[in-house]
Amino acid sequence: MNMSKNRLFLFSALAACGLVLGACQSDKHTMTDPASGKTIVCKECYDAVTGAHRNQPAASATGFQTLRTSQCPCCKTEMSVYIQDGTHMVKCGGCAHDGVAWDKCVPR
């Protein structure tokens, strides 16, 4: 009887530790570097938006133009590179949920 209580306690303690250690292991939220005010994005999204800024200049200062939509290999979600009101932006379901300007993001 006493051995059964010890096993139950040990199992409960191990389960609680596992939940605590794994609680924030995902990258499913946007992280912001508080010192610089920039958003941390994966390398693939950073390379895509900076490459678009370098190779495809903004045609107009107003409006919305999608440049590329694809699967982000790092986040495994849809990534879009677009121009909004003259600014190159990237939006990714994994690292840039709300869209981030090319000059306001840094790679992980």
Percent with pLDDT over 90 in the chain: 55
- Is the pTM here over 0.75, yes or no? no
Among 19-33, 57-71, 94-108, name the one with the lowest average pLDDT. 19-33
Mean residue pLDDT across the chain:
80
* Cβ atoms 93, 78 nearer than 8 A: yes
